[in-house]
Structure 1
């Protein structure tokens, strides 16, 4: 599987609870925090739900 770097670019304040929980599940929570994860179908689904809050780079 490919690895991707996910960087949080926008705040999760005043976002729906499901989006906040998705960001926490990805390991994010603060602006400019980044994580490197394997790009599985589950992660790809989470990325698509919060793509307006993050940026994604392939490694």
Structure 2
């Protein structure tokens, strides 16, 4: 298992349901094509799984 996850917002949240919009914002992603590095833990994995259609994930 990797130490960190590199998460990039690849699809706009304009048409997304409000819960998914808040999840993307909680991940630290505000603009399209922006990337954040977060620790690889159960909490982060769960949030990414919820919005997997909006983000791209790479293990670092």
Query: Please, what TM-score do these two structures have when normalized by structure 1?
Result: 0.94
- Structure 1 runs of 4+ aligned residues shifted over 2 Å read none
Q: For residues 58 and 14 of structure 2, what CA distance do their matches in structure 1 show? A: 24
SS, match of residue 51 in structure 1: coil
Aligned match of 1:25: 26
Counterpart Cα distance in 2 of 1:56 and 1:15: 19
Alignment length (residue pairs): 59
Are 1:56 and 2:57 counterparts? yes
Uncovered stretches (5+) of structure 2, i.e. residues with no partner: none
Taking only aligned residues, the RMSD between alpha carbons, in angstroms, comes to 1.0
Q: Show structure 1 runs of 5+ residues with no match.
A: none
